[in-house]
Amino acid sequence: MSFKVAIVGATGNVGHEMLDILAERAFPVSEVVALASSRSIGTEVSFGDRTLKVKALEHYDFSDTDICLMSAGGAVSKEWSPKIGAQGCVVIDNSSTWRMHPDVPLVVPEVNAAAAAGFTKMNIIANPNCSTAQLVVALKPLHDRFGVKRVVVSTYQSVSGAGKEAMDELFNQTRAVFAAGEVQVKKFPKRISFNVIPHIDVFMEDGYTKEEWKMMAETKKILDPKIKLTATCVRVPVFIGHSESVNIECEKPITADEAREVLRTAPGILVIDKHEPGGYITPHEAAGEDATYISRIREDATVENGLAFWCVSDNLRKGAALNAVQIAEVLINRKLIQPRKKAA
């Protein structure tokens, strides 16, 4: 059984990863269609050892496509996802547009795969924010065993989380600093090279940013509405890989050894936690990998049943493309979708 898959945003950071991951995991495709804006018509992208010519989303007919992996930003998704879903093609969307919609499941397969079955009302499933995805993978096994009540998280987010132009901005600013050229600030509110910026997405009325609000709201929707979470989201001059410093407070007593044991056997997680220089994971090592890495696990004695840890993952993979492909695999493995076009 194989499926016709369209990738919207195939020329972007996440779209490239989606193509790679579909090929790496030998996803059962009958055909892969690369779509982007009309600016990219005819551009070539790689899918395994093949080259695909990019077509324009606006001219594409989805009536015999089974799965659309959508990664072209919120405005495109808002306009197109309902139209594509109405044509019977299941959209797995990477933007924030549909995440909190009551008829759209928000899914991280290691955490709430069963929720994917709720896609049928709109034929849309949402992928969470990149920072939320790796966080809930780490929290799920701890919550099941110790009952997580409260989370304090500070993020160190790479520039690729803001798209390919943002990566160019870090590169160009860094070059300008070394060449004594003019540092141009366009994509980020302040210079990002040799700097950190405590501001991602727009400000809300209460002083939090939308990125911080998303981590709170999405963790509740995916994992447990009773979990209290406060976040500080920070952009750092790293190309790929988001890091998080996490403190949790649990209902039950928790030791660092118990937490390490629980995390070691949990799906999607690799624990690298040696108490020596370099005995932890940094975003540089996580880039290009699928796992959510946990390091620096230790008890937090400042609260009852407290634990602190460090969590790193490739934001373009688990934070976006990999999670979307894993959702598509859930749909297939649980027989929630069938190919619309019978194989010849």
Ligand X SMILES: NC(=O)c1ccc[n+]([C@@H]2O[C@H](COP(=O)([O-])OP(=O)(O)OC[C@H]3O[C@@H](n4cnc5c(N)ncnc54)[C@H](OP(=O)(O)O)[C@@H]3O)[C@@H](O)[C@H]2O)c1
Give the count of alpha carbons within 13 A of 119, CB side only: 29
* Residues 49-68, interacting with ligand X (CB under 6 A): 57
Closest approach, Cβ 283 to ligand X, in A, equals 12
Candidates 164, 210, 220, 341: give the one binding ligand X (CB under 6 A). 164
Contact range with ligand X by CB under 6 A, out of 8-16, 44-52, 140-148, 267-275: 8-16
Q: Rounded to whole angstroms, how far apart are CA atoms 230 and 226? A: 13
Q: Considering only 2-10, 177-185, 251-259, 290-298, which stretch makes contact with ligand X by CB under 6 A?
A: 2-10
Q: Which of residues 155 and 305 has its CB atom nearest to ligand X in the complex?
A: 155
Q: Which of 21, 33, 52, 76 binds ligand X (CB under 6 A)?
A: 76
Stretch that binds ligand X, among 12-20, 210-218, 298-306, 336-344 (CB under 6 A): 12-20
Counting contacts by CB under 6 A, is residue 108 touching ligand X?
no
Interface with ligand X (CB under 6 A), residue from 36, 126, 137, 151: 36
Strand partners, 307: 248, 299
**Binding flags for ligand X, 288-327, as an x/- string (CB under 6 A):** ---------------------------xx--xx-------
DSSP 128: P
Give the span between the Cα atoms of 221 and 231, in whole angstroms. Answer: 16
Give the distance, in angstroms, between the CA of residue 132 and the centroid of all CA atoms in the same chain.
7
CB of 42 to ligand X, least distance (A): 11
d(C-alpha 222, C-alpha 138), whole Å = 13
Smaller CB separation from ligand X, 32 or 254:
32
Query: Can residue 135 be called a binding residue for ligand X (CB under 6 A)?
Result: no
State how far the alpha carbon of 303 is from the alpha carbons of 153, 224, 307, in Å: 15, 21, 9
Residue with tokens 């995916």: 222
Please state, in angstroms and as integers, the Cα–Cα distance from residue 208 to each residue in 211, 236, 247, 256, following that order: 8, 18, 18, 31
138, 259 Cβ separation under 8 angstroms: no
Quickly count helices (H) and strands (E) in the chain.
9, 14
Our finding on whether 40 is near ligand X (CB under 6 A) is: yes
Return d(Cα 96, Cα 107) in angstroms, integer.
Answer: 13
E strands in 170-256: 228-235, 242-250
Residue 209 makes contact with ligand X by CB under 6 A: no
Tokens of 80: 């197109």
Among 65, 71, 81, 305, binds ligand X (CB under 6 A): 71
CB of 310 to ligand X, least distance (A): 19
Decide: is 122 part of the binding site for ligand X (CB under 6 A): no
Does 160 interact with ligand X (rule: CB under 6 A)?
yes
Q: Is 250 a catalytic residue?
A: no
Residues 288, 262: Cα–Cα separation, whole Å = 25
- Asked whether 66 and 100 are in contact (CB, 8 A), the reply is no
Would residue 130 show up in a list of annotated catalytic residues for this protein?
Answer: yes
Catalytic residue among 233, 242, 250, 311, which?
A: 242
Q: Considering the rule CB under 6 A, would residue 95 count as an interface residue with ligand X?
A: yes
Give the number of residues written for the chain.
Answer: 344
Minimum Å gap between C-beta 306 and ligand X is 29
User: Are β-strands 242-250 and 148-157 bridged in parallel, bridged antiparallel, or unpaired?
Assistant: antiparallel
Tell me the C-alpha distance between 8 and 65, whole Å: 12
Is the Cβ of residue 149 or residue 214 nearer to ligand X in the bound state? 214
Residue closer to ligand X by CB (options 129, 295) is 129
Size of interface with ligand X, in residues (CB under 6 A): 29
Given the residues 68, 89, 130, 233, the one annotated as active site? 130
In the complex, the residues that contact ligand X under the rule CB under 6 A are 8-15, 36-37, 39-40, 57, 71-74, 76, 94-95, 130, 160-161, 163-164, 315-316, 319-320
Active site residues: 130, 242
